[in-house]
């Protein structure tokens, strides 16, 4: 297995800077707006197909905004957020200290298998990593997410369909069909790609129980 520690240390420094500058806000997690953050979360709702309480791992949780979004669904849940950035986890714990269903950690080994695992925005900013190196990290992480998911998982990526003149060299863009084909080959037929929500990215939903994606 590749060692991503140096690359992730750079990522942690980047998001540590935004967290300290802007706090527990979308800008603190380097989102352009609260609306863009929420629209990405809204795509994950299609994944949650169980009645009653469900468990979820938030891979790259930032300050825990997804936990707040889950509250709005009005369904019982158990949430475990993981992030490599210590400043983000500190913000998340401070903001959710009164929610016993929410836990946060910087240690990947503390994540246990859950019904679902989701990742929003964590694959976008590659900084100085090469495109090939970052792509390898992305798909290695998706494999880890699959291993942590009992029923299914979901993630988003910036789309390679973006206008070339709007792309930035420090960001990672992926062909939606490449992501679909890889997930279809590795995890089964229940894969869906969503890219109709007005942003320059797409969401992949994968079910592991044979249900319809």
| Whole-angstrom distance, CA of residue 170 vs CA of residue 29 | 16
* 135 in a structural domain: yes
* 212 in a structural domain: no
* 213 in a structural domain: no
* 168 in a structural domain: yes
* 15 in a structural domain: yes
| Whole-angstrom distance, CA of residue 103 vs CA of residue 144 | 19
* 194 in a structural domain: yes
Structural domain for 191, as ranges: 5-207
CATH of residue 174: 3.40.50.150
Tell me the pLDDT tens digit for each residue of 23-73: 999 999 999 899 999 999 999 999 988 788 999 999 999 999 999 999 998
User: How many domains would you assign to the chain?
Assistant: 1
Burial of 25 (0-12, 13-18, 19+ CB in 10 A): middle
Neighbours of 135 (CB within 10 A): 16
Distances (CA, A) of 73 to 24, 44, 136: 21, 11, 34
Using the predicted structure, report yes or no on whether residue 104 has a pLDDT greater than 60: yes
| Whole-angstrom distance, CA of residue 116 vs CA of residue 150 | 6
Which residues make Cβ contacts (< 8 Å) with residue 35, sequence separation at least 6?
none
Return the sign of the alpha-carbon dihedral for residues 162, 167, 173, 175. Answer: positive
Tell me the pLDDT tens digit for each residue of 168-187: 999 999 999 999 999 999 99
* 187 in a structural domain: yes
* 129 in a structural domain: yes
Burial 154-176 (b: 16+ CB within 10 A, else e): bbbbbbbeeeeeeeeeebbbbeb
pLDDT of amino acid 212: 53
């Amino acid at each position: 297995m590749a060692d991503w520690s140096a690359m992730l240390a750079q990522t942690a420094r980047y998001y540590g800077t935004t967290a300290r500058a802007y706090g527990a806000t979308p800008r603190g997690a380097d989102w352009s707006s609260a609306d863009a953050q929420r629209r990405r979360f809204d795509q994950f709702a299609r994944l949650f197909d169980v009645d009653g309480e469900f468990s979820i791992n938030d891979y790259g949780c930032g300050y825990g905004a997804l936990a707040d979004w889950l509250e709005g669904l009005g369904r019982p849940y158990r949430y475990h957020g993981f992030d490599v950035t210590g400043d983000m986890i500190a913000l998340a714990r401070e903001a959710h200290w009164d929610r016993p269903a929410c836990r946060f950690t910087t240690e990947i080994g503390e994540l246990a298998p859950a019904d679902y695992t989701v990742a929003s925005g964590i694959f976008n900013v590659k900084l100085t990593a090469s495109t090939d190196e970052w792509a390898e990290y992305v798909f290695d992480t998706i494999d880890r997410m699959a291993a942590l998911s009992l029923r299914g998982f979901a993630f988003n990526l910036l789309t390679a369909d973006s206008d070339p003149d709007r792309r930035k060299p420090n960001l990672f863009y992926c062909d939606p069909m490449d992501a679909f084909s890889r997930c279809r080959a590795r995890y089964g037929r229940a894969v869906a790609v969503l890219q109709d929500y007005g942003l320059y990215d797409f969401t992949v939903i994968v079910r592991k129980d044979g249900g319809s994606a």
